Amino acid sequence: MGSRKFTENLFKVLMLLSLVLILSTLVGIMAVIVVKGWNAMSLSMLIETPQGGYYLGQGGGVANAIVGSLYLAFGASILAMLISLPAAFALQREYTNRRFADATRFVLDILWGTPSIVYGAFGFTLMVYLGLRASLLGGIIVLTMLMLPIMIRSMEEVIRMVPPELKEIAYALGTTRLETTFAVVFRQALPGMITAVLLAFGRGIGDAASILFTAGYTDEIPSSLLDPVASLPLAVFFQVGTPIPEVQERAYAAALILLAIVLLVNIASRLLGRRFSKNIIR
């Protein structure tokens, strides 16, 4: 009996240790980024573009990367939404037969798991084929591809949660499929839809590998869709590798800003989801 009790307690301790390990990595990562980033942070970091280029340092901030990242992520989110909304509804029973829907879900799952460097490689090939250079447009196209599976799959999960009875009631009242979709299903699923978009947005704004060659990098703020564009993840990646302290500071600041944006998006999606779900019938 004693040894059984011992095993039980041993594993309990191991489990708690594992949990503490996981939680402390989270705390550790946050602490490192916040402390390093905070020391590097100043107003000029937020509102100035880098002075004197990336090899020379000479002050300035990461405004180019902040604006660039927002351009990229918002552009891609809107584009991905335009495709994801109809796709998520089309996956439902009313519109598509089960086998085709299942096959599509499977392809989406593969696409979700596809490494972002593969999207980057493919995107770059596509752009060469189309004669595009590394630009805001190219970055948006590749990020859209990356966001699509995340957005469609999570929207679709939400739509499937809508109770079928609601739809049946609507049909019984004589509505068409499309009317039911818009008036009943869409409204019920709205909070989840917003969460899905925010989830994809958060993933897109943090991704570096896919835009490494498709969005380019520049010290300027882009003025057209065909200009190259800087981004926060790449600002971290490029600038941390230099031996110049001023430039490294910019990397730390960029990392803190990026982390703050991702956390904000995370919190916002939870709060919005909770707020809108008040009117949802379950």
Partner 1 sequence: MRFPLLFVHVLFLAIGVGLFLKAWPLLAEVPIGAILGSESWHPLRGDFGLYPFIMGTLAVTALAMAISIPVCLLSAVYLSEYAGTRIRESVRLAVDILAGIPSVIYGLCGILVIVPLVRELGEAIGIQTTGYSLLAGGIILAIMVAPFIIALTVEVFRTIPIEARESALALGTTRWEMVHHVLLRHARRGVMAAVVLGFSRAFGETMAVLMVVGNVPQVPGSLFDPAYPLPALIANNYGEMMSIPLYDAALMLAAFILLLVVSVFSLGAHFTLLRIGRFGV
Residues within window 186-215 making contact with partner 1, judged by CB under 8 A: 202-203, 205-209, 212-213
Nearest approach, Cβ of residue 164 and partner 1 (Å): 17
Contact (CB, 8 A) for 43 and 104: no
Query: CB-wise, 125 or 279, nearer to partner 1?
Result: 125
Q: Binding of partner 1 at residue 99 (CB under 8 A)?
A: no
CB atoms within 10 A of CB 94: 13
Q: Looking at 38-46, 49-57, 94-102, 188-196, which segment touches partner 1 (CB under 8 A)?
A: 94-102
The half-sphere exposure of 87 on its side-chain side, counting CA atoms within 13 A, is 18
Q: Are 93 and 168 in contact (CB under 8 A)?
A: no
Nearer to partner 1 among residue 74 and residue 122 (C-beta): 122
CA atoms within 13 A on the CB side of 102: 3
Q: Does 275 bind partner 1 (CB under 8 A)?
A: no
Question: DSSP letters along 22-57, please?
Answer: HHHHHHHHHHHHHHHHHHH--HHHHH-PPSSHHHH-
Q: Is 122 in the site for partner 1 (CB under 8 A)?
A: yes
- Output the CA angle 213-152-158, nearest 5 degrees: 145
CB distance 235 to 216 below 8 Å: no
Binding-residue total with partner 1 (CB under 8 A): 85
Interaction pattern, residues 63-82, with partner 1; x per rule: CB under 8 A: --------------------
Tokens for 33?
């980024």
Work out which of 72, 159, 247, 259 binds partner 1, going by CB under 8 A.
Answer: 259
CB of 128 to partner 1, least distance (A): 8
Binding residue for partner 1, selected from 240, 244, 268, 272, defined by CB under 8 A: 240
Interaction pattern, residues 15-54, with partner 1; x per rule: CB under 8 A: xxxxx-xxx-xx-xx--xx--x------------------
